[in-house]
C-alpha cells in the first residue's frame, strides 16, 4: 500500500520523543530533499510540527500549564553539531550567562566550532558558529571551559574581584583532573587567577 512521504516522515518523527529535532536531511530513506521539504511544510501547516529555524523542525513537548515547549537555543546548537559531527563550545557572553555571571540571555549566542563559520537565526536570537583552532576546542571540563571562556570575554583588566570569587566557587564542582588539563590550555593570566589561592 502506498503511503505518502508526509505520513512516512511523521511516522519516523513519532517514533522519537517529543522535543527531538529533525532536519530536512534526517529522512534520506524516505524521499529526496525537495519532497521531504514539502512534506515538512505541510506538517507545519497542519500543526503536527513546529519550524524552529530554516530546515529545522520539532514535534514540541506539550506542558500542562504552558502548552508548547520548544527546544532551547543550546539544544538546537547541540543537535546541529551532532548532525555535522562537530565539536562546539559555548563562548562569549553566553558562557558568562551559563555560569551565572550575568542574568541577561544574549541575543547572539556564540559557539567555537571545528566546522565552517555560519549563523542560524532562531526567532529573535542568533546562533553563531565561529571556526576555532583545535587548541580552543581541546577543553574537557564543562565548568572549566565556561570559566575560561567567560574570563576571556570579560578581559584581563576588566575582571572584578567579585567575578573571580564567583568563578572560583563554581570551579569547586569541576573534576580536578579536567580543571588541570584545561588550565594548561588557558592564557597565562587566566591560569594565574584560577590557580592562585586567596
pLDDT tens sequence across 126-135: 999 999 998 8
pLDDT bin (cut points 50, 70, 90) of residue 195 is confident
pTM confidence score: 0.85
pLDDT in tens, 47-70: 999 999 999 999 999 999 999 999
pLDDT value for 1: 39
Domains of the chain as residue ranges with CATH: 5-69 (1.10.10.10), 73-195 (no CATH)
Q: What proportion of the chain, given as a percentage, has pLDDT over 90?
A: 89
pLDDT for 148 beyond 50: yes
pLDDT for 178 beyond 80: yes
Specify whether the backbone of 43 is left (phi greater than 0), alpha (psi in -120 to 50) or beta.
Answer: alpha
Alpha helices in 46-141 (DSSP H): 73-83, 92-99
Q: What's the rounded mean pLDDT across residues 29-34?
A: 92
Amino acid at each position: 500500500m502506498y503511503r505518502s512521504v508526509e505520513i512516512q516522515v511523521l511516522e519516523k518523527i513519532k517514533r522519537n520523543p517529543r522535543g527531538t529535532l529533525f532536519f530536512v536531511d534526517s529522512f534520506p530513506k524516505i524521499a529526496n530533499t525537495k519532497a521531504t521539504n514539502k512534506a515538512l511544510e505541510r506538517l507545519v501547516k497542519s500543526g503536527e510540527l513546529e519550524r524552529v529555524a530554516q530546515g529545522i523542525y520539532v514535534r514540541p513537548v506539550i506542558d500542562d500549564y504552558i502548552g508548547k515547549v520548544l527546544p532551547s537555543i543550546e539544544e538546537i546548537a547541540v543537535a546541529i553539531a551532532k548532525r555535522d559531527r562537530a565539536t562546539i563550545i559555548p563562548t562569549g557572553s553566553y558562557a558568562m550567562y551559563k555560569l551565572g555571571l550575568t542574568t541577561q540571555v544574549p541575543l547572539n549566542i556564540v559557539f567555537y566550532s571545528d566546522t565552517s563559520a555560519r549563523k542560524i537565526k532562531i526567532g529573535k536570537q542568533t546562533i553563531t558558529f565561529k571556526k576555532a583552532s583545535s587548541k580552543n576546542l581541546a577543553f574537557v571540563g564543562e565548568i572549566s571551559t565556561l570559566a575560561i571562556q567567560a574570563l576571556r570575554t570579560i578581559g584581563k583588566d576588566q575582571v572584578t574581584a567579585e567575578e573571580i570569587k564567583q568563578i572560583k566557587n563554581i570551579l569547586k564542582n569541576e573534576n580536578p583532573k579536567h580543571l588541570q588539563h584545561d588550565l594548561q590550555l588557558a592564557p597565562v593570566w587566566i591560569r594565574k587567577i584560577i590557580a592562585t589561592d586567596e
